[in-house]
Structures are given as structure tokens and as C-alpha cells.
Amino acid sequence: MKIRIYYEDTDCGNVVYYANYLKFMERSRTEFLRERGIDLASYHKKGYLFVVVDAHIKYRAPAYYNDLLDAVSFVTELTSVSVSFTTNITSEKGRLLVKGDIRLACVNSNGRACRIPHEISEALVK
């Protein structure tokens, strides 16, 4: 997905503030799921939530105000209760700026780990 960097995304040096990359990764994962027909809001209503349990980010190069970035997410591991994603954020010229590895756990409305619904697991491996 394309992400335009706005002034609000930057620090006082017009460099993207490091924590904003987490937001970009979240958007990319959400679009990844949406493209596979997974509507998280409908699963939330059924009592399934996905929470971040692990995050590793490698910052390789900065992005600046008005840059156009590309964020691409893909599944790297799927278990019965968790799914791991890698998100690569690149510049317009294809230079890798940031790589994030995020693991999400499926939990019920009480916050206890539970199995990922079968239809979600199937959609994730397509």
C-alpha cells in the first residue's frame, strides 16, 4: 500500500518519527487481511481479537516529509493461536527503509489465547 508522508508524521527535522512506522505497519497488515476477505470488525463482534505480542523493527534509512512510501506485509508463520507478519517499507525507488516483524495472538473477549478461526487461517495461507 502507498503511504504519503505528511508533516504530522515527522519530527522537528522533517524525518518520519520512528513510532509512526508501527502505524504504517498496522495499516499494511489490515489491508493485507482485507484483500483476503477478512473483516476484523466482524470477528471482534464474535469475540475474537488479535493483539500484538512481539515486535521487532529494523530502521535502515530515514523517510522525509512528502515522500511516497510502499508498505508490503506478508505472513511468515502461522500457528493455531498466532500469526507472524513481516512488513517491508520501501522508498519510491525501492530502497528498504524499515523492516518490521510482528507477531499477533488471537484472544477471546476475556483476553485469553484461543484458536484462530479456521476461515482466517485458510485465508492467510492463500
Here the CATH number for the domain that contains residue 83 is 3.10.129.10
Domain span at residue 80 reads: 2-124
pLDDT of residue 72: 98
Q: Which residue has the cell 487461517?
A: 121
Q: Return averaged pLDDT per consecutive 10 residues of the chain, 126 residues in all.
A: 97 95 97 95 95 98 98 98 98 97 97 96 91
Q: Which of 40, 110, 32 is nearest to 75 (CA)?
A: 32
Helix (H, G, I), strand (E, B) or coil at 32: helix
**The three three-digit cell numbers of residue 39, written as one number:** 473483516
**Cα 4 to the center of its chain, rounded Å:** 16
Q: How many domains does the chain have?
A: 1
pLDDT of residue 53: 98
Half-sphere exposure of 120 (CA within 13 A, CB side): 25
pLDDT of residue 15: 97
Which one is catalytic: 11, 39, 67, 101? 11
pLDDT of residue 126: 77
101 in active site:
no
Rounded to whole angstroms, how far apart are CA atoms 9 and 30?
Answer: 19
- The reply to whether the predicted model has a pTM over 0.85 is yes
